Structure 1
Amino acid sequence: MMRAKIAVTVDNFVFYKIKDTYKIALVERKNEPFKGHWALPGGFVDQDEDLPDAAKRELQEETGLVVDKTQQIGTFGKPGRDPRGHTISVVYLSQINGEKDLIANDDAAKAEWFDIKDLPKLAFDHSEIVNFAKQFL
């Protein structure tokens, strides 16, 4: 029996709270799939890379944010969530103290803070991930 090739990615749910409002960091994708759509910062795990290190690296590459602590909160792997093939994403949560400047880089065309109650349409299954992550706020 032939085993399917499965890719592993990490996604970052990074937020801060101001008064009664939560803001989360999103990036606009520079490349297909979902070019021009907003998504959680993240990407593929490199060979021999630990998952939390991959999450921190991808976050820094796409937004310029550096976080010391991050917590794994879930795993998403429904077939079809990524049109490139079966991809399992490990999601990390990080809280920062107040708004920091975001600098889009790597495969992010833009990086911005969004009110969690007023998000754009998100790529992949990132709306499902955001809804899941809200329980940790």
Structure 2
Amino acid sequence: MYQYNYPRPALTADVVLFVKNDKETRVLLIRRGKEPFMGSWALPGGFVDENEDIKDAALRELKEETGIVGLDLIQVGAYGKPGRDPRGHTVSVVYTAILDSEPEYQAGDDAAEAGWFTIDELPGLAFDHEEIITDAARMLKLGIPVTVTKN
């Protein structure tokens, strides 16, 4: 097996799931049940397993942490600023979708709780997730095509 002699960042996948109606746009967050940032709100997501597609990892983490399945996600971007994760250099590929109604959900895996928050009144967030939500919301405002899924 080939040995790569240079350090590599870890890879994660996160999901910015929006519900949009005539009055407001909300985003689904989970309260972290483990360190780092235990007790803080964050986007559903986690580490990509070896030999796992990144989008599949995003869908798996969404299912494990919220029970939500059956979405078609579109990529927002990648976030890899050193220091964004206290566990080490971590790059996250972020996906999004917009729903027209709130699906059934239940916190699971390492999520202690889950809930919907308006994008104008977010709680303090872990990692760089406020920046990520802002970028995904900007895509919506600019009219960049994002999947709308009916439940």
Query: TM-score, normalised on structure 1?
Result: 0.95
Aligned to 1:130: 133
Q: CA RMSD in A?
A: 1.3
Question: Identity across aligned pairs (percent)?
Answer: 52
Q: 2:92 aligned with 1:79, yes or no?
A: no
Give the superposition deviation at 1:39: 0.1
1:46 to 27, 46, 49: 49
- Answer whether contact 1:30 1:108 (CA < 8 A) is retained: yes
Q: 2:25 aligned with 1:37, yes or no?
A: no
The AA in structure 2 aligned to 1:11 is: D
| 1:70-121 Cα shifts (integer Å, max 9, x gaps) | 0011000000000000000000011223012220000000010111111100
Q: 2:94 aligned with 1:94, yes or no?
A: no
Task: Report how many residues are paired.
Answer: 137
The AA in structure 1 aligned to 2:37 is: F
Structure 1 gap ranges (5+): none
Q: 2:19 aligned with 1:11, yes or no?
A: no
Structure 2 gap ranges (5+): 141-151
1:118 to 110, 117, 121: 121
Q: 2:51 aligned with 1:20, yes or no?
A: no
